[in-house]
């Protein structure tokens, strides 16, 4: 609150005649409080909130006291100002702290009031001698403040504070201009009589009652406007302290349930939560709790839950005591939502009916997707990994400059051209509604067209053959050879059947399983930082459980983020052995062979804690031109990944801000014919982890209806993978 800080300094100025050390002490305290607020005020810290209330109310009270001061002056002037300043400050701090809602209203009114006072000073004739000059000076401040309050209400406090800063500085200069700079500075520094007289000459030339009345009216109008905008946008006002922060979480969850009502797609839901929380400045811990709670809820509601799965409560049972609260909140909101489920369902059916004849259906737009990515919060939240340490944290390896420029550059040019000519924006039907992705994608394959047709979520996808580009063809051969070699070196055996050795490592070369063949490749195009892929795990239909996926990046360097689905508690001693001892998550370096038992005897020892992430940390890694990222099992089962929106990232001379990505997967015919569900759509393959005493490693898979898992959507098809 630099404005309060500035007015506080003015108050100090009024305290002429008191001891020099008092002025310096008060000034220093104000500077420290101001700095504290600038640094922590945005986090909704109670202390910052309290200090904000203190500053705002005390400086307002001081101003009012000053304005109504009789010409003869108060007796015990300094003591009176001190008392007014501190008593009103304490009260203001408490009001802001306990009633942040009222605090917000008051703060906005206060800013308006300050502006009102400044406007009324227009005719004093200081820095600008003409009224026009002063108006021209003030107009940009006023207009900017108004625009910010209307279009970016959640930033209004920050913006107003930012605006007040130069404003108050200008006010100070103006004061000196009116009273005489040298005289004013000398008076302030030495607290001399002439200084006091000089500042006393800085007077409003309207009657005092008029000034006070105008200021209050202006303040109330500005505050009311602010309040209305905030309520319209957020329902409960922008974050101000924990109470409003929690309200924001509630709102976020409510929005998320709306998104769920439409799609029940966990990656979209998780995305909505992320967007909501980062947009509202929520902290990472809250985000995790909410997401875990939602994850759990979604897992609980579908068909598999009726079949006795999955492990209810595990994912929300994280390390934080708040987890329960997050879950409660989610449950409460979900029951609130299912209350009017019938009505919503009817509405949806009506909407679908009206959409049937229309060729151009309305895409589902996530209302939260518009929220800006909070880069600062993101940096705080995500732990940056490099090619050197990525394998220590997640089941991935990264190879920089893996594809030589002689292949990577022409491949990038080919993809740029091909994308322009034939790639399509991801669109798929969820719950009979057409949903568009943010970017274009395509599919390439080495499989003969007759042998392969890929369909997901009701839409057939056409694919081109690798041979359509010699560079693509070469890349695919290089990848096959390299990934197969890395699997052997890491002693990771390719999944051959679900019931095979739980450790999936091997010691004997003959036991290595088949070669990896990335015969199916998905291309993604991200033209700028707004084009993204939300948090998801790759679909297992067609590629089967525990896939190995190799991803090539070309063009601009974007951030790839990885987050574990389960929280620490579901990774404790009840965690299946294979999960704890997964070779890549637990080994120490990307190049050493894993230091693990390589036979298939289940290991009963408690895992060393270094193998376990303490929380569901989000990791990020930069994927530059020509890099190869290999995602090993159980990446798709236990982690989600995304390419988030970004504003600052290195472009590439050949493609500017555009990035192209090729993810090679191994198509497995035995997983290509999923059962049809009652909705007439192919089901999708999902993993589930259930831990029981009898069955400590029940990693199982089931086919489920893709249309949704809620009561009123899809058919709830559920069938174990045999
Ligand atoms: O662009 C990327 O790096 C990720 C693409 C991706 O996750 C996918 O296609 O499934
Ligand atoms: Fe993916």
Q: Do residues 202 and 75 both lie within one domain?
A: yes
How many angstroms separate the CA atoms of 316 and 464, rounded?
43
How many angstroms separate the CA atoms of 396 and 389, rounded?
10
User: Does residue 715 belong to any structural domain of this protein?
Assistant: no
Two tokens, residue 350? 């009506």
For tokens 């506080």, name the residue.
8
H helix intervals, 180-240: 181-190, 193-200, 208-234
Q: Which of 378, 104, 264, 283 is nearest to 708 (CA)?
A: 264
Q: Which is it for the CA torsion 632, 633, 638, 640, positive or negative?
A: positive
Q: What is the 8-class DSSP label of residue 676?
A: B
Q: Do residues 302 and 345 both lie within one domain?
A: yes
Antiparallel, parallel or unpaired: β 718-720 and 698-704: antiparallel
Nearest Cα residue to atom 3 of ligand 1:
661
Q: Do residues 161 and 263 both lie within one domain?
A: no
Instruction: Of 159-173, 390-404, 431-445, 634-648, give the lowest mean pLDDT range.
Output: 159-173
Q: From ligand 1's centre to the CA of 453, what distance in Å? A: 20
Q: Do residues 393 and 258 both lie within one domain?
A: no
Asked whether residue 418 carries a pLDDT value surpassing 80, the answer given is yes
Identify the residue with better confidence: 663 or 219. Answer: 663
Per the structure, the count of domains in the chain is 3
Mutate to test the pocket of ligand 1, among 560, 628, 639 (most ligand atoms within 8 A of CB): 560
How many angstroms separate the CA atoms of 414 and 46, rounded?
55
Phi, psi dihedrals of residue 319, rounded to the nearest 5°: -70, -20
pLDDT digits (tens, 9 = 90+) for 148-162: 655 665 555 566 655
Q: Do residues 67 and 51 both lie within one domain?
A: yes
Q: How big is the CA angle at 343 (ends 341 and 346), to the nearest 5 degrees?
A: 105
- How many C-beta atoms surround the C-beta of residue 76 within 10 A? 9
Task: Among 169, 202, 234, give the residue marking a domain's end.
Answer: 234
Mutate to test the pocket of ligand 1, among 639, 643, 646, 664 (most ligand atoms within 8 A of CB): 643
Counting other chains too, the contacts that 487-492 makes at CB distance below 8 Å and 24 or more residues apart are 487/512, 487/516, 487/548, 488/512, 489/593, 490/583, 490/584, 490/587, 490/593, 490/594, 490/632, 491/583, 491/593, 491/594, 491/598, 492/548, 492/583, 492/584, 492/632, 492/633
**pLDDT at residue 252 in the model:** 53
CA distance between the termini of the chain: 64
Q: Which is it for the CA torsion 308, 323, 251, 147, positive or negative?
A: negative
**pLDDT at residue 610 in the model:** 31
pLDDT digits (tens, 9 = 90+) for 312-344: 222 222 222 233 333 334 434 443 444 344 344
Instruction: Please list, residue by residue across 132-153, b when 16 or more beta carbons sit within 10 angstroms of its beta carbon and e when fewer do.
Output: eebeeebeebeeebeebbeeeb
Q: Do residues 248 and 281 both lie within one domain?
A: yes
Q: From ligand 1's centre to the CA of 632, what distance in Å? A: 14
For tokens 């979209």, name the residue.
268
User: Does residue 54 belong to any structural domain of this protein?
Assistant: yes
**pLDDT at residue 121 in the model:** 56
Which residues form the domain of 17?
A: 2-234
Q: From ligand 1's centre to the CA of 176, what distance in Å? A: 61
pLDDT digits (tens, 9 = 90+) for 266-300: 455 555 555 554 444 334 444 444 554 455 444 44
Q: Looking at residues 556-572, what average pLDDT do you find? A: 68
How many angstroms separate the CA atoms of 43 and 48, rounded?
8
How many angstroms separate the CA atoms of 458 and 705, rounded?
11
The helix/strand/coil state of 125 is coil
pLDDT digits (tens, 9 = 90+) for 464-493: 889 999 999 999 999 999 999 988 887 776
Q: Do residues 660 and 581 both lie within one domain?
A: yes
The helix/strand/coil state of 541 is coil
Q: Is the CB of 663 under 6 A from ligand 1?
A: yes
The helix/strand/coil state of 707 is coil
Q: Do residues 326 and 222 both lie within one domain?
A: no
How many angstroms separate the CA atoms of 462 and 441, rounded?
11
User: Does residue 357 belong to any structural domain of this protein?
Assistant: yes
Element (H, E) at 488: helix 470-490
How many angstroms separate the CA atoms of 657 and 458, rounded?
32
User: Does residue 694 belong to any structural domain of this protein?
Assistant: no
**pLDDT at residue 511 in the model:** 63
Q: Which of 123, 706, 28 is nearest to 428 (CA)?
A: 706
pLDDT digits (tens, 9 = 90+) for 232-269: 444 433 333 333 344 444 555 555 555 555 444 445 55
Identify the residue with better confidence: 501 or 689. Answer: 689
Model confidence at 81, pLDDT cuts 50, 70, 90, reads: confident
Q: Is the CB of 411 under 6 A from ligand 1?
A: no
Q: Which atom in ligand 1 lies closest to the alpha carbon of residue 522?
A: 9
Please answer whether residues 439 and 525 qualify as being in contact, where contact means their C-beta atoms are separated by less than 8 angstroms: yes
Task: Among 341, 372, 403, give the residue marking a domain's end.
Answer: 372
Q: Which of 154, 330, 142 is nearest to 231 (CA)?
A: 154
The CATH number covering residue 528 comes to: 2.60.120.590
For tokens 């200084």, name the residue.
195
Number of H helices, E strands in the chain: 23, 18
Is the ipTM beyond the 0.95 threshold?
Answer: yes
Q: What is the mean pLDDT of the chain?
A: 61
Paired residues of 521 in beta bridges: 444, 664
How many angstroms separate the CA atoms of 396 and 584, rounded?
7
pLDDT digits (tens, 9 = 90+) for 646-700: 888 898 988 889 999 999 998 887 777 777 766 666 677 776 655 445 544 456 6
Identify the residue with better confidence: 602 or 205. Answer: 205
Two tokens, residue 253? 């969850």
Q: From ligand 2's centre to the CA of 712, what distance in Å? A: 28
Nearest Cα residue to atom 1 of ligand 1:
661
User: Does residue 294 belong to any structural domain of this protein?
Assistant: yes
Q: Which of 69-73, 117-121, 365-369, 537-541 has the highest mean pLDDT?
A: 537-541
User: Does residue 164 belong to any structural domain of this protein?
Assistant: yes
Q: Do residues 225 and 252 both lie within one domain?
A: no
Q: Looking at residues 367-382, what average pLDDT do you find? A: 42
Please answer whether residues 583 and 596 qualify as being in contact, where contact means their C-beta atoms are separated by less than 8 angstroms: yes
For tokens 């929300």, name the residue.
316
Q: Which atom in ligand 1 lies closest to the alpha carbon of residue 629?
A: 3
User: Does residue 718 belong to any structural domain of this protein?
Assistant: no
How many angstroms separate the CA atoms of 634 and 395, rounded?
7
Q: Is the CB of 431 under 6 A from ligand 1?
A: no
Q: Do residues 492 and 352 both lie within one domain?
A: no
Q: Which of 636, 632, 679 is nearest to 516 (CA)?
A: 632
**pLDDT at residue 243 in the model:** 36
**pLDDT at residue 57 in the model:** 80
User: Does residue 720 belong to any structural domain of this protein?
Assistant: no
Phi, psi dihedrals of residue 550, rounded to the nearest 5°: -110, 130
Q: Do residues 162 and 32 both lie within one domain?
A: yes
Please answer whether residues 447 and 467 qualify as being in contact, where contact means their C-beta atoms are separated by less than 8 angstroms: no
Q: Exposure of 698 by Cβ count < 10 A (0-12 exposed, 13-18 middle, 19+ buried)? A: middle
Q: Do residues 343 and 399 both lie within one domain?
A: no
Q: From ligand 1's centre to the CA of 111, what distance in Å? A: 47
Task: Among 196, 216, 234, give the residue marking a domain's end.
Answer: 234
Percent of the chain topping pLDDT 70: 34
């Amino acid at each position: 609150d630099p404005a309060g800080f500035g007015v506080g300094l003015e108050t100090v100025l009024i305290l002429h005649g008191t001891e020099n050390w008092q002025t310096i002490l008060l000034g220093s305290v104000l500077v420290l409080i101001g700095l504290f607020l600038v640094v922590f005020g945005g986090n909704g810290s109670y202390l910052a909130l309290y200090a904000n209330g203190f500053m705002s109310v005390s400086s307002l009270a001081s101003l009012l006291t000053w304005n109504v001061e009789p010409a003869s002056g108060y007796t015990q002037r300094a003591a009176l100002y001190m008392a007014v300043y501190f008593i009103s400050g304490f009260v203001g701090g408490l009001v802001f702290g306990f009633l942040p809602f009222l605090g917000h209203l008051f703060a906005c009114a206060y800013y308006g009031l300050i502006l009102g006072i400044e406007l009324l000073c227009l005719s004093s004739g200081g820095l600008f001698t003409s009224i026009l000059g002063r108006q021209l000076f003030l107009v940009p401040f006023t207009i900017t403040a108004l625009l910010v309050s209307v279009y970016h209400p959640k930033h209004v406090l920050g913006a107003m504070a930012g605006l007040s800063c130069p404003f108050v500085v200008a006010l100070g200069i103006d004061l000196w201009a009116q009273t005489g700079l040298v005289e004013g500075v000398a008076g302030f520094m030495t607290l001399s009589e002439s200084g006091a007289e000089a500042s006393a000459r800085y007077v409003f030339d309207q009657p005092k009652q008029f000034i006070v009345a105008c200021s209050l009216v202006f303040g109330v109008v500005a505050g009311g406007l602010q309040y209305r905008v905030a309520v319209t946008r957020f329902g409960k006002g922008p974050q101000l302290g924990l109470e409003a922060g929690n309200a924001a979480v509630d709102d976020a969850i409510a929005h998320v349930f709306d998104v769920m009502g439409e799609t029940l797609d966990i990656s979209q839901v998780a995305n909505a939560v992320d967007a909501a929380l980062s947009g509202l400045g929520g902290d990472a811990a809250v985000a995790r709790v909410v997401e875990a709670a939602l994850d759990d809820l979604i897992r609980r509601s579908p068909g598999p839950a009726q079949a006795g799965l999955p492990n209810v409560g595990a994912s929300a049972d994280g390390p934080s005591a708040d987890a329960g609260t997050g879950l409660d909140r989610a449950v409460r909101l979900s029951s609130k939502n299912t209350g009017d489920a019938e009505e919503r369902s009817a509405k949806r059916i009506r909407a679908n009916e009206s959409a049937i004849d229309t060729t151009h259906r309305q895409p589902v737009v996530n209302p939260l997707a518009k929220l800006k990515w909070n880069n600062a919060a993101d940096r705080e939240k995500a732990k940056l990994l490099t090619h050197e340490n990525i394998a220590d944290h997640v089941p991935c390896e990264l190879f920089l400059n893996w594809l030589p420029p002689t292949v990577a550059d022409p491949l990038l040019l080919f993809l740029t051209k091909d994308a322009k000519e034939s790639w399509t924006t991801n669109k798929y039907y969820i719950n009979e509604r057409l949903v568009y992705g943010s970017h274009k994608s395509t599919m390439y394959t080495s499989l003969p067209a007759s042998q392969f047709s890929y369909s997901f979520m009701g839409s057939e996808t056409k694919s081109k053959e690798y041979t359509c580009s010699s560079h693509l063809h070469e890349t695919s051969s290089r990848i096959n050879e390299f990934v197969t070699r890395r699997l052997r070196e890491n002693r990771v055996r390719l999944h051959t059947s679900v019931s095979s050795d739980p450790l999936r490592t091997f010691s004997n070369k003959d036991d290595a399983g088949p070669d990896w063949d990335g015969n199916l490749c998905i291309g993604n195009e991200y033209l700028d930082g707004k084009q993204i892929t939300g948090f998801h795990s790759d679909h297992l239909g067609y590629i089967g459980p525990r896939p190995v996926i190799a991803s090539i990046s070309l063009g601009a360097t974007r951030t790839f983020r990885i987050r574990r689905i389960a929280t620490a508690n579901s990774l404790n001693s009840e965690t299946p052995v294979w999960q704890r001892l997964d070779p890549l998550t637990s080994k120490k370096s990307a190049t050493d062979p894993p230091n693990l038992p390589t036979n298939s005897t289940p290991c009963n020892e408690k895992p060393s804690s270094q193998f376990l992430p303490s929380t569901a940390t989000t990791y990020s890694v930069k994927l530059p031109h020509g890099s190869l990222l290999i995602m090993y099992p159980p990446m798709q089962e236990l982690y989600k990944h995304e390419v988030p929106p970004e504003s600052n990232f290195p472009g590439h001379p050949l493609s500017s801000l555009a990035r192209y990505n090729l993810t090679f997967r191994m198509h497995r015919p035995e997983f290509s014919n999923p059962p049809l569900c009652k909705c007439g759509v192919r089901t999708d393959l999902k993993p589930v982890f259930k831990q029981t005493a009898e069955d400590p490693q029940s990693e199982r898979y089931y086919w489920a209806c893709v249309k949704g898992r809620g009561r009123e959507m899809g058919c709830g098809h559920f069938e174990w993978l045999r």
